[in-house]
Structure 1
Amino acid sequence: METSTKTARELYEALKADPQRRRFGFGRKPALVNIDLQNAYTRPSEFATAYETDPRQIEHVNRLARLLRSRGCPVIWTFVAYLDSGEDCGVWGTRADMSERLRSIKAGDRRAQLDDRCDVDRDHDIVMNKRMASAFFETNLGSLLTFHQVDTLIVTGGSTSGCVRATVVDSLSRSFRTIVPEECVSDKHESPHYANLYDMMAKYADVLPVAEVVDFLDGYEPVTESFRVSG
């Protein structure tokens, strides 16, 4: 195994600067999936479970949400919440260090509520309760994306090394072009954050500056009609 004294951030920055790095690129229709931007994970001053990498993360996510929404593309927000018994947390919630963090997030509790700084359009956006790391696991995310004829997934939220990475790997496995805006994902510590940005960029996704994603969306013209249930 090749050894290196470079930090995870240095390895990530070197890969980002590599002119030979290939991209998956954007496809015909994107969707935005915002992973677990709920108080338990976005309020460091209130909850020990929270994390923050870029203090403008939610601001950037909101801008993407408004752009996607204005072009008739799906905007999806996930959150984690469990039954009072915690049994729907499964084996994941049985480890001593995970049990308190996960099983304490109950449906309706402040920890489970999306951060009120998030620009959620309750009339049009999709809000989805997930229970495991990937937003695809035992949810209807896949069928929703198929219904909307999506081929590109823009993934934000946290944590970079946990639920974001799990969703990104599942996204690529389902043949979605997958985009991670760098400033829109976060983790508790720098090392896992940059190590996983590196790994996703190398294998599973295009990790891009949020400004580049905004530029694409500014010039994006919808290619299919947005499907809405008529009233």
Structure 2
Amino acid sequence: MTTQTSDRASDYASVGFAGTIGCGASPAVVVVDVCLAYLDDGPFSDAHGRFEEARSSADRIVDAARAAGRPVVFTRIELAPGGVDAGWFAVKVPGLVAFEQGSPYADFPKSPAPLPGEVVVTKQYASAFFGTTLASTLRALGVDTTIVLGFSTSGCVRATALDATQHGFRSLVAREACGDRDAGVNDANLFDLDAKYADVLSEAQIIEHLTAPGAP
């Protein structure tokens, strides 16, 4: 942590931000939009490999969750032709054409990818909770904590982590498993999430929670 970041964190804490939510007894991993659009030569890929680094971390966390018997839920974006079901979001972000039905860019990479029987939530907007059955599915599974990771930190990860809190789940975010085009934007959004809406934890801390005694 840089001196500047440490000073900022101390300033926020001094006025009552950055409390700790903690992990509950029944966490699930929510893998947000880890898809080909952000990887390799996809239209949203970055020249610095940030998304690939996040994908690798996500893969390790998903493996740990499965080994511990924890639920893993994947999300994907799929839009109707012309983005008619994404409203002004599709107007604001014309690049969402990459997620129209039939586009290969919406597909999952080789890993992490859903296994047979794992839930895949299809969405049209940023939050994985908005207009979907995600909250009901998690509650039916007995989940009390969502571990959110994926792409992109400032967009769909942030929106999903915030909505997890607003739906009554403990919200955790896996730092290394979140990717964005710009390092500054990525770090600023993780800082703000940690200050206000979620606990942002390292990959090692997340895996420790997933593999703690009491896994089903």
Q: TM-score, length-normalised on structure 2?
A: 0.87
Q: Which residue of 2 aligns with 1:49?
A: 44
User: What is the root-mean-square deviation of aligned Cα atoms in Å?
Assistant: 2.4
- Structure 1 residues not aligned, in runs of 5+: 1-6, 224-231
After TM superposition, what 4+ stretches of structure 1 lie above 6 angstroms from structure 2?
A: none
**Aligned partners of 2:24 and 2:145 also within 8 Å:** yes
Question: Could you say which residue in structure 1 is the equivalent of 2:101?
Answer: 107
- Cα distance in 1 for residues equivalent to 2:37 and 2:21: 33
Deviation at 1:134, TM superposition (A): 0.1
**Greater helix proportion:** 2
Question: What's the counterpart of residue 77 of structure 1?
Answer: 74
Indicate the SS of the match to 2:161: helix
**Alpha-carbon shift at residue 85 of structure 1 (Å):** 3.1
User: How does the TM-score come out when normalised to structure 1?
Assistant: 0.82
- Contact 2:50 2:179 survives alignment (8 Å): yes
Please give the alpha-carbon distance, in whole angstroms, between the structure 2 residues aligned to 1:67 and 1:117.
13
The within-5 A match list for 1:1-231 is 10-11=4-5, 15=9, 22-43=19-40, 46-51=41-46, 52-53=49-50, 55-95=52-92, 98-99=93-94, 101-121=95-115, 123-222=116-215
Structure possessing the higher radius of gyration over alpha carbons: 1
User: What is the SS of the residue equivalent to 2:121?
Assistant: strand
**Aligned equivalents of 1:176, 1:64: Cα separation in 2:** 19
Identity of aligned residues (%): 32
- What is the DSSP-based 3-state SS (H/G/I as helix, E as strand, rest coil) of the residue aligned with 2:70? coil
The 1:11–1:102 alpha-carbon spacing in structure 2 relative to 1, beyond 3 Å, is: same
Q: Please list every run of 5 or more consecutive structure 2 residues that lacks an aligned counterpart in the other structure.
A: none
Could you say what secondary structure the match of 2:131 adopts? coil
**What is the Cα deviation at residue 19 of structure 1?**
9.5
Alignment size in residue pairs:
209
